[in-house]
Amino acid sequence: MNVHTARSLIIAVLFTGYLSAQGIAVQPRYADLSLSSLFSSGWSSAAAEELLALQGGAHDPNKRGFTVQNVELSLMGAVDPFLRGEAHLIFQIDAQGESIFELEEAFLTTQTLPFGLQVKAGTYFTEFGRLNPQHPHSWSYVDQPVINTRMFGGDGLRGPGVRVAWLSPLPWYAELFLGLQNANGETAVSFLNSPEEDRFLGRPLVDRELESMADLLRSARWLNSLSIGEETTVNLGVSALWGPNRTGEEGKTAIYGGDLYLKWQPLANDQGWPFVALQGELMHRNYLAADSSEPFIGNPQTLTDIGGYLQVQWGLKRGWVAGMRYESATGSGKDGDDPLRDQRTRVAGNLTYYPSEFSKVRLQLNLDSARFLDQDNAWGLWLQYEFLLGRHAGHKF
């Protein structure tokens, strides 16, 4: 979508919303419209190219100075009594100053299927773990974890497809998700990847066609939620992905993960404060690279990557949240020194102030250790700020 088309679409949407607000009937109002704007500024001891590798997420602050991390226009609402729709359009400015406008998600979900079933169809974030399906404005830190960037790329794992969910009749909340999506494109880096790329993890890539169901990305997730007393809730989930990769006809990738979220909140609270929230994810990737004719690459080889993060958020008092996060990621097999696969650790601490539910200011300090850095270590200090206009539906617990 070019800039002029994007500008026309945004103006049309905003004008329709304005007319509705003035009581001028354009059409029945079914959709909530919101604009979330996320910016940051800061500095890092890492050089410019090193910083791009350290902060590999597409919405991470990855340059000294100022960053437009994410400006998101969202439309959500009822299509009819049977379907609900969502669309999310995003704009950002990259480290080179280039403007990027894209469709992030657009999908429908059913509302009235029997037996605890629900179907989602369109283009959407794959439901793997806790963080991948979340939009940047709902993150607890200014950047996404290193392991998410390695497994799913800078923009997260998303694409066109269909997903079926089943809410089981067990005495606790237990939901099973099964999905099929396209395995190609720049948002499927562990699988068929972007056609513009000619190498991944040091391996040459070839083009592959969709010939069977095995050439699609298959996903599964099982999520459980339990209450421990009246003040504590815990969510436990396991996720899995299977799909082809572009190293050859025999190339395939499998990613497995487990996630935990625990939140304590006293019954007597001040609009949700105080609270303590613990969150963590562990991921493991087997990347089976097919046989290659290139010298020194040769026979099929499985490249293994493993990593995760653990974070705690402490709601001190109304509007104030302090957090700490520890991350680790490593890869074994050929090209273990590649910035996408080498040994990485990061410790991050932040303090966030929410003047209201429509804005926040966050100060975060990162301490990174990475094998590819000239000095082995680097620090980064980032100030993030966000404002929200309009009505935005709440995110899942």
Total domains in the chain come to 1
pLDDT at 26 over 70: no
Question: Is residue 235 within 8 Å of 224, Cβ to Cβ?
Answer: yes
Mind giving me the DSSP string for 216-231?
SEEEEEEEEEEEETTT
Q: How many CB atoms lie within 10 A of CB 378?
A: 20
Residue 176 lies in a domain: yes
Question: Is residue 352 within 8 Å of 321, Cβ to Cβ?
Answer: yes
Q: How many CA atoms lie within 13 A of 392 on its CB side?
A: 20
Q: What does each C-alpha distance from 47 to 51, 93, 327 come to in angstroms?
A: 6, 20, 21
Cβ contacts of 130 within 8 Å, gap of 6 or more: 235, 237, 259, 261, 279, 281
pLDDT at 315 over 90: yes
Residue 175 lies in a domain: yes
Residue for token pair 């025999």: 250
Q: Tell me which residue range forms the domain holding 29.
A: 3-390
The region of weakest confidence among 90-94, 179-183, 220-224, 291-295 is 291-295
How far apart CA 396 and CA 198 sit, in angstroms, is 38
Question: Is residue 85 within 8 Å of 76, Cβ to Cβ?
Answer: yes
Residue 105 lies in a domain: yes
Prediction pTM value: 0.89
Residue 396 lies in a domain: no
Q: What is the pLDDT of residue 81?
A: 92
H or E element in which residue 65 lies: strand 65-78
Q: Residues 120-179: pLDDT tens digits?
A: 999 999 999 999 999 999 999 999 999 999 999 999 999 999 999 999 999 999 999 999
Sign of CA dihedral 176, 182, 187, 192: positive
- Predicted confidence band at 375 (pLDDT cuts at 50, 70, 90)? confident
Q: What is the pLDDT of residue 138?
A: 95
pLDDT at 200 over 90: no
Where residue 379 sits, what CATH number does that domain have?
Answer: 2.40.160.10
DSSP 8-class letter at 111: S
Residue 395 lies in a domain: no
Our CA dihedral for 60, 138, 130, 143, rounded to 10 degrees, sits at 20
Cβ contacts of 109 within 8 Å, gap of 6 or more: 83, 84, 85, 86, 118, 119, 120
Residue 374 lies in a domain: yes
Task: Tell me the mean pLDDT in the region 11-30.
Answer: 48
The region of weakest confidence among 20-34, 39-53, 231-245 is 20-34
Say whether 146 sits in a helix, a strand or coil: helix
Residue 214 lies in a domain: yes
Q: Residues 237-281: pLDDT tens digits?
A: 999 999 999 998 899 999 999 999 999 999 999 999 999 999 999
How far apart CA 134 and CA 126 sit, in angstroms, is 10
Q: Residues 281-311: pLDDT tens digits?
A: 999 999 998 877 665 565 788 899 999 999 9
The region of weakest confidence among 14-28, 83-97, 260-274, 379-393 is 14-28
Residue 397 lies in a domain: no
